[in-house]
Amino acid sequence: MSDEIEFEEEEFTTQFNGQTMLRILAQTKPHWKWVVGFLVTITFVAGLDSYFTFLRKQMIDVGITPGDTAALARIGVIYFVMIFFQAAGVFAFIYLAGVLGERVRYDLRKKTFEHLQDLSLTYYSKTPVGWIISRVTSDTVRIAELVTWGMLDVTWGAVSISTAFVFMLAINWQLALLVLLIIPVLLFVAVTFKQRIIVEFRRVRKINSKITGAYNENITGVRVVKALGREEENLREFGELTGEMYQAGFRAAWLSALFLPAVQIISAVAVGVIIFFGGSQVEQGGLTVGGLAAFISYVTFMLWPIQDLARVYAEMQQSIASAERVFSLIDAVPDVVDQPNAIDPGTISGDIRFDHVDFDYGDGKPVLTDFCLTIKHGEMIALVGPTGGGKSTIVNLLCRFYEPVKGAITIGGQDYRELTLHAIQSRIGMVLQTPHLFSGTVRENIRYGQLTATDEEIEASAKLAGAHDFIVTLEKGYDEPVGEGGNLLSTGQKQLISLARAVLAKPELFILDEATSSVDTLTEALIQRGVETLMKDRTTFVIAHRLSTIKRASRILVIEQGRIAEMGTHAELLRQRGHYYNLYTRQFRHDLSKEYNLFALTGAAVN
């Protein structure tokens, strides 16, 4: 998590960008009523604050100085009533801001989440998962905070300062103009300080995340560190990092400590000027005692809105950077999309053809070149061959996770780009080498294949997939939680559950990419039997390194460097004595020698 923050902080500029700001504000458009309510209440509350200072002036000038107790009582009542209104206003705007923030956050999360579902796999292979997750989580929060608490502080600050100024003008305009000179100075100093402070704090955070990373690596890799005697080297690196962090933390503390006194000194100077000029005006009769007191209050009080404005301004740049990242995600265009007239033919059970397909993963390195293959409906095709040969790529193209760069893939004679993605993908059942389960129970994970399935259907699928036997041995059986990503189960068990899930979906096209690579041979044989009944009348692709599982395939394709090196049935290929023969005999020998070792270990006589 820590590294992602680094990634995010360096990626975009933190310059003020008006266009992004407008787009952020546009997020509140659907909730404009809440925005208006919230702005009105906050204006009311901030305006009342200035009015209270004015009331105190009246209290002195109209009540105390002439000794008019009736006027004093009247002012007291107004004060009391207004305080009550203000309290109601404070309640309203905090409530409204909370709701507004929640709504904006919800919208953004929904928008990004929906968009993430549409994005093609190419986006995911280019973009680190951590980056995407920080966009959806922390960045959306920052945007929502800007449009609520940020907007609140800005409105409150602006209204406080301007209403105070209006009252000051009404009391004594010459003195009010003098105060007007102070405001920009205060704002400038406050903004400069706040920005510097934020920069230092960000530096601290960045180094901190590096330190956390270093800790993490040293703890998880402690064996390697010790084995290679790298302790001293690591200590030195660690020392450098903590030193840097200390320096940055020190500067941040220094600046933070300096900030308030600096602003206070400036406003103290302002108060001094007011006492000096205002005092002489009081003597000349141009200003009342209450008026002078009010001026001092206004100027001292102004410190807080100015501080808030400076803080929001400094933070706003970060929120804008957050927004730019979220918008860049929302704006990313999926590579594989439905064409305008795409149709759903209702089935994909026709013959499948790879027609002179060229493909690369966008890096210009060809994976398939002029690849041709025709698969008849109901065939079981097995793909074997060395790692990196292109087997998974072929099925990725078939599922239309990617599309051919050149050439076409046709289903029942129709280019599959004329079909909707849903038409294709909803009819394919796929089990991967690294199966993914969602946190939840075993039953829920299987049901994901067909949401309306009954418990009986789920059990039947689990039996076909060979998963039932191990599921019933779990403490809670089908209701056993699988943990996050299924991490409470072994890889083989996860594969069995994914298989059951695919079986339940009753796909028209079945793809098993190393689906049984992590289960023992006995279980594999069991699955084999179940899956074979299922494969009847269904086109199936099986990718396997363990060749014993594909002997019965209608055709076996040996894929090497993106080409079909050999093709035929098990018997035909053995007769050819080519690649497949070599692969098979090597594995067979290996398996035999394993058995031999087993016998030797158990002390059984081999002969």
Ligand X SMILES: Nc1ncnc2c1ncn2[C@@H]1O[C@H](COP(=O)(O)OP(=O)(O)OP(=O)(O)O)[C@@H](O)[C@H]1O
**Residues lying near Mg ion in the complex (CB under 5 A):** 392
Q: Quick one: 120 or 160, whose CB is closer to ligand X?
A: 120
Which residue of the chain is nearest Mg ion when measured via CB? 392
Q: Quick one: 86 or 393, whose CB is closer to ligand X?
A: 393
Tell me how many degrees the CA angle 483-437-521 measures, rounded to the nearest 5. 100
Q: Contact 266/185 with Cβ under 8 angstroms?
A: yes
Helix (H), strand (E) at residue 411 = strand 406-411
Q: Contact between 392 and ligand X (CB under 6 A)?
A: yes
- Looking at the chain, how many residues does it have? 607
Rounded to whole angstroms, the Cα distance separating 275 from 126 reads 65
Q: How far is CA 595 from CA 519, 555, 591, in A?
A: 17, 29, 6
* Amino acid at residue number 409: I
**3-class DSSP state of 564:** strand
Q: Quick one: 140 or 392, whose CB is closer to Mg ion?
A: 392
Minimum separation from the CB atom of position 398 to ligand X (A): 12
Q: Quick one: 178 or 384, whose CB is closer to Mg ion?
A: 384
Q: Quick one: 266 or 431, whose CB is closer to ligand X?
A: 431
Q: Quick one: 368 or 458, whose CB is closer to ligand X?
A: 368
Identify any residues that bridge with 374 across adjacent strands, giving them in sequence order.
353
Binding ligand X (rule: CB under 6 A), the pick from 31, 57, 391, 417 is 391
Q: Contact between 210 and ligand X (CB under 6 A)?
A: no
* Amino acid at residue number 534: L
163 binding partner (options ligand X, Mg ion, none; Cβ < 5 to 8 Å by kind): none
Helix (H), strand (E) at residue 301 = helix 289-331
With tokens 């993605």, the residue in question is 421
Minimum separation from the CB atom of position 420 to ligand X (A): 24
Would you give the DSSP letter of residue 332?
P
Instruction: Tell me the window of 292-300, 360-368, 404-412, 448-456 that interacts with ligand X (CB under 6 A).
Output: 360-368
Minimum separation from the CB atom of position 574 to ligand X (A): 21
Rounded to whole angstroms, the Cα distance separating 10 from 324 reads 13
Q: Quick one: 134 or 393, whose CB is closer to Mg ion?
A: 393
Q: Which of 552, 550, 554, 558 is nearest to 576 (CA)?
A: 558
Q: Contact between 434 and ligand X (CB under 6 A)?
A: no
Minimum separation from the CB atom of position 391 to Mg ion (A): 5
Binding-site size, ligand X (CB under 6 A): 11
389 binding partner (options Mg ion, ligand X, none; Cβ < 5 to 8 Å by kind): ligand X
Q: Quick one: 281 or 392, whose CB is closer to Mg ion?
A: 392
Minimum separation from the CB atom of position 326 to ligand X (A): 25
Q: Contact between 560 and ligand X (CB under 6 A)?
A: no
* Amino acid at residue number 155: T
Q: Contact 393/367 with Cβ under 8 angstroms?
A: yes
105 binding partner (options ligand X, Mg ion, none; Cβ < 5 to 8 Å by kind): none
Instruction: Tell me the window of 182-190, 387-395, 486-494, 501-509 that interacts with ligand X (CB under 6 A).
Output: 387-395
**3-class DSSP state of 43:** helix
Neighbours of 119 (CB within 10 A): 18
Q: How far is CA 247 from CA 256, 322, 485, in A?
A: 14, 27, 41
Binding ligand X (rule: CB under 6 A), the pick from 52, 131, 361, 448 is 361
Binding ligand X (rule: CB under 6 A), the pick from 278, 291, 390, 449 is 390
Helix axes 491-504, 521-535, angle to 10 degrees: 10
**Backbone angles phi and psi of 333, in degrees to 5:** -95, 130
Q: Contact between 31 and ligand X (CB under 6 A)?
A: no
361 binding partner (options Mg ion, ligand X, none; Cβ < 5 to 8 Å by kind): ligand X
593 binding partner (options ligand X, Mg ion, none; Cβ < 5 to 8 Å by kind): none
Binding ligand X (rule: CB under 6 A), the pick from 393, 517, 539, 540 is 393
Instruction: Tell me the window of 36-44, 272-280, 321-329, 359-367 that interacts with ligand X (CB under 6 A).
Output: 359-367
Q: Contact 569/551 with Cβ under 8 angstroms?
A: no
Alpha-carbon Rg of the chain, whole angstroms?
36
Minimum separation from the CB atom of position 513 to Mg ion (A): 6
Tell me how many degrees the CA angle 142-147-153 measures, rounded to the nearest 5. 105
Q: Contact 120/401 with Cβ under 8 angstroms?
A: yes
Minimum separation from the CB atom of position 392 to ligand X (A): 3
One character per residue 97-136, x = contact with ligand X (rule: CB under 6 A) = ----------------------------x-----------
Q: Quick one: 432 or 458, whose CB is closer to Mg ion?
A: 432
Provide CB contacts within 8 A for 425, sequence distance 6+.
399, 400
Helix (H), strand (E) at residue 513 = strand 509-513
Q: Contact between 367 and ligand X (CB under 6 A)?
A: yes
Instruction: Tell me the window of 319-327, 350-358, 361-369, 455-463 that interacts with ligand X (CB under 6 A).
Output: 361-369
Q: Contact between 387 and ligand X (CB under 6 A)?
A: yes
471 binding partner (options Mg ion, ligand X, none; Cβ < 5 to 8 Å by kind): none
Instruction: Tell me the window of 81-89, 146-154, 200-208, 382-390 that interacts with ligand X (CB under 6 A).
Output: 382-390
245 binding partner (options ligand X, Mg ion, none; Cβ < 5 to 8 Å by kind): none
Q: Contact between 280 and ligand X (CB under 6 A)?
A: no
Rounded to whole angstroms, the Cα distance separating 319 from 21 reads 9
Minimum separation from the CB atom of position 124 to Mg ion (A): 16
**3-class DSSP state of 546:** coil
Which residues, 496 to 555, sit near ligand X by CB under 6 A?
none
Q: Contact between 30 and ligand X (CB under 6 A)?
A: no
Q: Quick one: 339 or 434, whose CB is closer to Mg ion?
A: 434
Q: Contact 295/130 with Cβ under 8 angstroms?
A: no
How buried is residue 87: exposed, middle or buried, by Cβ count under 10 Å (0-12/13-18/19+)?
A: exposed
Q: Quick one: 120 or 392, whose CB is closer to Mg ion?
A: 392
**3-class DSSP state of 360:** strand
With tokens 């002489």, the residue in question is 280
Give me the sheet containing 555-560, strands edge to edge: 428-431, 509-513, 539-543, 380-384, 555-560, 563-568
Q: Quick one: 329 or 512, whose CB is closer to Mg ion?
A: 512
Binding ligand X (rule: CB under 6 A), the pick from 63, 389, 404, 435 is 389
Residue ranges binding ligand X (CB under 6 A): 125, 361, 363, 367, 387-393
